[in-house]
Amino acid sequence: MIDSNAAPGTALSGRRVLIVEDEPFIAFDLADAIENAGGVVVGPAMSVRQALTLVATDRVEAAILDVNLPDGDIGPVITALADEGILLLVHTGAGLTPALREQYPTLRVFTKPTPPPVLAHVIASVFAGRYEQGPQHP
């Protein structure tokens, strides 16, 4: 559901959203949804190493993260962002590892193929204070 009170292209109002996804078509669809909602895409990063470099060198206000990347799981990126209080959404086909689920029990997890505009809407809603807890999927 799209917020009917937000003008098209303004829901994210310039918010900087990191995208970490190793499948190019999914990454570009996510980036397109963020930009269409008025956000600024940081990335996309296609590995843990690329994501950590972006986190260290760029301002990030929210992130959409895939779990399994070519160089390992997303744990180090979640840790770096969670320590800064960054809004995190995990978009995955595999779910969280038991260790990540235990360490971050309130992490918002969306299973693929959640449509990218839905993820952009969730981010916008959290920033607007209208959304507290996302669906949790194992």
- Could you give the domains of the chain? 16-127 (3.40.50.2300)
Spatial contact of 74 and 107, defined as CB atoms under 8 Å apart: no
Q: Give dist(CA 49, CA 72) in Å, integer.
A: 9
Q: Spell out, as residue ranges, where the chain has pLDDT lower than 70.
A: 1-9, 130-138
What is the per-residue pLDDT for 136? 39
pLDDT of residue 95: 85
